[in-house]
């Protein structure tokens, strides 16, 4: 790519925003040209705005540190400086809906980490290896909303990343997966910074009932189909999930039980499915695509967050402990990095997919 695409980060001073800043440094396709945050940070240089708040390894990139921080509501300034924005700001659902729509109406591609638009029937939840075909709804979305160049695409909740990718591999192989039970063990960084009090999390597990609904309705939409100008979720896929916060810094783990309709595959067959799975990002060798995306191990002591969360630069899913089970038929454990694959990294990979398919010039 001869000329880098100018991009913006909405919510640039927060934890996800800082991850974007770090991951986009020296990106071969994208250049950060616009930063936005709350009124409190607006008007400062980025280095000053995050001086006591930077939580990434090393120092902020020098060039980005000199950029001014704009008010996140200043869509007019964003329109002059970038073509694509990564949305990671924190507002109420209604405020988020309105503001992301304003960015799209102003002609920008919006890739959102927020949940506000995820279940809108004309807004796709994209996992690049799983459902790139759902990007085909973008022209219909633009026509319905009256947007010219802008559109909105979302990424899923960080909690579903670890098990949806392995399930997608099984479904792509032709296996008919109809029932899934998961226990999701979610890391502390999923709550942002400063997150929850140490007095809450030490020697404790914290139930996350708000995450449990996302754990089944988002995968149903991810595996859904485009029908006309809307996405119809796969209601035949039944998922039940328990979600808890655990005293781990980074890395969401999932213990997964699943059933297969029809002929029951041998464990060796499923192992080969995991090992051989490749999605569009791997086939096109997109800059952020891990090779391979699924890392399967027979070592019964893996996956472990501290040892495996950074596989594939934090973009791969590590799978282990695959075996036949008396409940549903099969079980495995999977791990993904919640702030890389599950947040900023996954959204950057989605942006790369959008560029490769011509949705961002």
**Catalytic residue of the set 117, 158, 243, 337:** 158
Is 40 known to be catalytic? Answer: no
**Catalytic residue of the set 82, 243, 252, 337:** 252
Q: Which residues pair with 111 in a beta bridge?
A: 86, 153
- Can you state the angle between helices 15-24 and 345-356, rounded to 10 degrees? 50
Q: Residue 271: exposed, middle, or buried by beta-carbon count in 10 A (0-12, 13-18, 19+)?
A: middle
Is 117 known to be catalytic? Answer: no
Active site residues: 158, 252
């Amino acid at each position: 790519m001869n000329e880098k695409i100018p991009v913006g980060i909405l919510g640039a001073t927060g934890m996800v925003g800082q991850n974007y800043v770090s991951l986009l440094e020296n990106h071969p396709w994208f250049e950060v040209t616009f930063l936005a945050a709350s009124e409190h940070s607006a008007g400062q240089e980025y280095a000053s705005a995050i001086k006591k708040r930077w939580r990434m390894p090393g120092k902020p990139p020098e060039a980005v540190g000199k950029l001014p921080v704009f008010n996140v509501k200043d869509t007019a300034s964003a329109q002059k400086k970038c073509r694509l924005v990564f949305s990671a700001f924190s507002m109420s659902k209604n405020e988020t809906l309105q503001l992301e729509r304003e960015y799209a109406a102003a002609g920008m591609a919006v890739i959102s980490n927020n949940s506000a638009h995820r279940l809108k029937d004309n807004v796709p939840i994209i996992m690049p290896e799983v459902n790139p075909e759902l990007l085909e709804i973008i022209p219909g979305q633009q026509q319905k909303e009256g947007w010219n160049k802008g559109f909105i695409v979302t990424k899923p909740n960080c909690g579903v990343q670890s098990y949806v990718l392995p399930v997608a591999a099984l479904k792509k192989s032709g296996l008919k997966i109809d029932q899934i039970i998961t226990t999701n063990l979610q890391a502390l960084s999923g709550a942002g910074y400063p997150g929850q009090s140490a007095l809450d999390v030490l020697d404790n597990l914290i139930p996350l009932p708000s995450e449990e609904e996302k754990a089944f309705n988002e995968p149903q939409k991810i595996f859904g189909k485009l029908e006309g100008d809307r996405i119809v979720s796969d209601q035949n896929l039944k998922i039940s999930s328990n979600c808890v916060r655990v005293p781990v810094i980074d890395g969401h783990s999932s213990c997964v039980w699943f059933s297969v309709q029809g002929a029951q595959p041998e464990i060796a067959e499923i192992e080969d499915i995991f090992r051989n799975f490749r999605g569009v990002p791997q086939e096109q060798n997109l800059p952020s695509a891990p090779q391979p995306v699924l890392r399967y191990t027979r070592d019964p002591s893996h996956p472990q967050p501290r040892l495996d969360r950074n596989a594939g630069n934090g973009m791969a899913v590590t799978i282990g402990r695959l075996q036949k089970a008396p409940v549903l038929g099969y079980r495995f454990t999977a791990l993904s990095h919640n702030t890389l694959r599950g947040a900023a990294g996954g959204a950057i990979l989605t942006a790369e997919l959008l560029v490769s398919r011509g949705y961002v010039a």
